[in-house]
């Protein structure tokens, strides 16, 4: 599998150069050393999240990494041999060609489940995504392969890109007697190079996150910060079985201040799907309540026309002060943040922006005689002749008699006696 991954990375590099992506990056070669880093705004966080079925393919993840997000979300489910797989659904059909490769492997309900196939079998499948813009065939890959490839990309580019694995559908895996959270943590531990290694882990199920925090994290040789996700209305990320039937989970308690206090006891932050479910005033208050408890909040960007994207970014990040945005095209937010953090006019070197005007003397400091304006220039040197210095007024001073002259002292004594 790693042979295929290596080939994929090499092909992508060729494609990126052919598409001219490097030409879209700002020219840094001729900048002075203190300006040879791209302008970023560290206070805000950009998360890449797949916007289509093939958005979780390795090729799509590498393309997203070129857009400089801070985090790349990796949706994870399990295979039959308990391997974490980067895929955003428990059903392989219709997002892959599983029905063509394994036509007899569906369950009675007609679905092809990831949990019914080994990793070796799943690696034979490809994505079927009519909206995909990927120029190469995309296969499904494991979490281990993605982490290995992104680590190599970080070493090559020197970026600090981080991953955000997402525990998908824990209720389903528990029903199938699989511990998906434990399997993901084992993979993270295998890639941790020290006890100081820091990872982030997201899940939409509050009970599963609390189980991770209380039962799975203690004793692990790494640090893990948990992110609570709030699913969209009608989503299947978190379900509860009631009277033998699976019911949607009710997140209403997480929109209360008491609920946020409970959340702050086990989570580092929160991602909110469909932020427009709240009015602007309530969303602003909600963001303030979360940040008041020393947590972060990241908003998932809904689909919108490109003409209003910049206004939306400004409203969410600057006006409402959200900590970050999650979207499928992180380049747009990065360009927006770079524009906000651009140096003021006059800061850039010559030829790169407007220069600050030279300071001019105040009007009262200008010469009153008009000498500079009237004096002709020397035809040989081209310089104006220096003005003649006016002689200073001489002040006559009467010399004082030296104290050491006896005659002068006697004369002075006679004058004093005569005055008396």
Q: What is the DSSP string of 316-365?
A: IIIIS--SEEEES-HHHHHHHHHHHTPPPTT-SPTTSSPPPPPP---GGG
Gap between the Cα atoms of 171 and 77, Å rounded? 12
For the segment 269-290, what is each residue's pLDDT rounded down to a tens digit?
Answer: 999 999 999 999 999 999 999 9
Averaged pLDDT of the chain: 82
pLDDT digits (tens, 9 = 90+) for 222-248: 999 999 999 998 899 999 999 999 999
pLDDT in tens, 172-218: 999 999 999 999 999 999 999 988 999 999 999 999 999 999 999 99
The answer to whether residue 46 scores a pLDDT higher than 60 is yes
Position 417 confidence tier, pLDDT thresholds 50, 70, 90: low
In angstroms, rounded to a whole number, what is the distance separating the alpha carbons of residues 75 and 88?
5
**Cα 166 from chain centroid (whole Å):** 18
pLDDT, one tens digit per residue, over 319-377 is 999 999 999 999 999 999 999 887 655 555 555 544 445 555 555 554 444 444 444 55
Half-sphere exposure of 404 (CA within 13 A, CB side): 0
- Mean pLDDT, to the nearest integer, of 387-396? 54
How big is the CA angle at 176 (ends 171 and 177), to the nearest 5 degrees?
Answer: 95
The 10s digit of each residue's pLDDT in 113-152 is 999 999 999 999 999 987 777 767 789 999 999 999 999 9
- Is the Cβ–Cβ distance between 337 and 43 less than 8 Å? no
Longest C-alpha distance within the chain, in Å? 143
CA quadruple 99, 105, 110, 114: dihedral positive or negative? negative
Kindly report the pTM of this predicted structure.
0.75
How far is Cα 325 from Cα 401, in angstroms, rounded to an integer? Answer: 91
* Domains in the chain with CATH codes: 40-89+143-340 (3.20.20.190)
178-to-77, 171, 197 alpha-carbon distances in Å: 10, 10, 26
């Amino acid at each position: 599998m790693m042979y295929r991954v290596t080939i994929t990375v090499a092909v992508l590099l060729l494609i990126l150069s052919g598409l001219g992506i490097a030409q879209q990056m700002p020219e840094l070669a001729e900048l002075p050393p203190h300006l040879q880093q791209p302008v970023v705004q560290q206070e805000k966080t950009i998360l890449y999240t797949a916007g289509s079925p093939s958005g979780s393919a390795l090729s799509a993840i590498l393309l997203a990494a070129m857009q400089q997000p801070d985090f790349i979300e990796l949706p994870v489910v399990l295979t039959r041999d308990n391997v974490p797989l980067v895929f955003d659904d428990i059903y392989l059909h219709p997002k892959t060609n599983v029905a063509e490769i394994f036509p007899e492997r569906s369950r009675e309900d007609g679905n092809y489940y990831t949990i019914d196939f080994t990793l070796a079998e799943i690696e034979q499948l490809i994505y079927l995504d009519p909206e995909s813009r990927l120029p190469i065939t995309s296969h499904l890959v494991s979490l281990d392969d993605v982490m290995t490839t992104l680590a190599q990309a970080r070493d090559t580019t020197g970026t600090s890109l981080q991953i955000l694995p997402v525990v998908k559908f824990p209720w389903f895996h528990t029903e199938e007697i699989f511990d998906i959270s434990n399997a993901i943590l084992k993979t993270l531990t295998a890639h941790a190079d020290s006890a100081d290694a820091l990872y982030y882990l997201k899940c939409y199920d509050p009970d599963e996150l609390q189980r991770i925090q209380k039962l799975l994290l203690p004793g692990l040789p790494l640090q893990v910060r948990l992110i609570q996700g709030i699913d969209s209305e009608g989503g299947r990320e978190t379900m509860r079985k009631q009277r033998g039937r699976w019911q949607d989970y009710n997140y209403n308690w997480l929109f209360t201040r008491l609920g946020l206090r409970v959340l702050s006891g086990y989570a580092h932050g929160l991602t909110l799907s469909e932020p427009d479910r709240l009015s602007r005033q309530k969303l602003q208050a909600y963001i303030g309540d979360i940040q008041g408890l020393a947590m972060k909040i990241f908003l998932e960007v809904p689909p919108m026309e490109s003409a209003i994207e910049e206004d939306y970014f400004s409203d969410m990040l600057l006006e409402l002060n959200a900590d970050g945005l999650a979207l499928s095209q992180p380049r747009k937010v990065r360009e927006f943040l770079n524009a906000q953090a651009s140096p003021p006019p006059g800061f850039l070197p010559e030829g790169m922006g407007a220069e600050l005007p030279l300071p001019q003397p105040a009007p009262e400091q200008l010469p009153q005689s008009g000498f500079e304006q009237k004096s002709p220039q020397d035809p040989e040197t081209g310089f104006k002749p220096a003005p003649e210095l006016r002689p200073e007024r001489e002040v006559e001073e009467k010399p004082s008699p030296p104290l050491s002259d006896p005659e002068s002292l006697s004369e002075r004594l006679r004058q004093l006696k005569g005055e008396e």
